[in-house]
Amino acid sequence: MKVINTVAALKSLLGPIRSAQQKIALVPTMGALHKGHVSLIEVAQQHAEVVVCSIFVNPTQFTDPKDLEKYPRPLEHDMAMLEQCGCDIVFMPSVKEMYPGPENWHIDLGPAEFLLEGEFRRGHYQGVTQIVKKLFDVVSPDIAFFGQKDFQQVLMIQQMVSYFNLSVQIITCPIIREEDGLAMSSRNIHLNAQDRQNALVLSRALYNVKDHFDLGRIPELEAKARQMIEATQGVKLDYFVIVDGLTLEPAELPYGKQLVALVAAKVGETRLIDNMILAEQ
């Protein structure tokens, strides 16, 4: 496995690979890797000859400086995980490498930018698309892999790809969960034992909606899920919604491609998100 820290070194490593017409896949991460990240790399390996995993805690997407400061950075653990899953190249640039000068990034991500996560974390998706565009420019991947765990993020990245008319293919991978249902997240490490228990209400509420899903009962199911979460001590609900998977607007019938339930809540001091697809056509 090659570990690369500069844009120039990565470009010169990938040049000959591209000339040899080998497919290059990119899996962008912020490190503190878990089985969810590994699953992305494993799917990427099935689609491309060379897999690049980037580890970069991108400052421009953090809307809370404390969240950025305490974001976990277990480097040795990450390297061991990447070695073990057979990742070919790790790209781990410094902040200066990715942001050599001041920048004023802003692109039109459509109305969904300001809903849900965009409402609670203003500017978050500008930062996400800014770094993903930079990574796409450096790696020029044929395919890039993202987790459904960050449902709205995938929509925003697809929006950015069409805004710049990029030729990269975006593939969304399923959410990997702990055995008890909690969606894996780098932030789970911040949960104490009680928080960890309380956090289960998020996936339970989602499964409850999915298990009882009925197009005619959407408001009732949303209300029940909110009630379950709000009744859990130590959990502060930001939103639980059932929405159209393309617009993120409240579900209307007949629905478009997908209906999805999305949830965000603060569990103790840690903000968690999760989601579940309820219907697809």
What residues make contact with ligand AMP under the rule CB under 6 A? 29-30, 36-37, 39-40, 146-147, 149-150, 173, 175-176, 183-186
Give dist(CA 144, CA 140) in Å, integer. 10
Query: Does the annotation count 37 as an active-site position?
Result: yes
Q: How far is the CB of 61 from ligand AMP (least distance, A)?
A: 9
Smaller CB distance to ligand AMP: residue 132 or 221?
132
Closest approach, Cβ 150 to ligand AMP, in A, equals 4
Task: Record the tokens describing residue 50, joined without a space.
Answer: 């060379």
CB of 253 to ligand AMP, least distance (A): 29
Least spacing, CB of residue 127 vs ligand AMP, in Å: 12
CA distance 135 to 128: 11
- H helices of the chain, in order, are 7-19, 35-47, 65-69, 75-84, 95-98, 117-120, 124-139, 151-163, 193-198, 200-211, 218-230
Q: Which of 37, 47, 190, 212 is catalytic?
A: 37
In terms of Cα–Cα distance, which of 84, 72, 35 is closest to 184?
35
User: Nearer Cβ to ligand AMP, position 39 or 130?
Assistant: 39
What distance in Å separates the CA atoms of residue 189 and residue 59, rounded to the nearest whole number?
20
- Identity of the residue, 229 or 273, whose beta carbon is nearer to ligand AMP in the bound complex: 273
Largest CA-CA distance found in the chain, in angstroms, rounded: 58
Q: Which of 24, 175 has the CB closer to ligand AMP? A: 175
Active site residues per annotation: 37
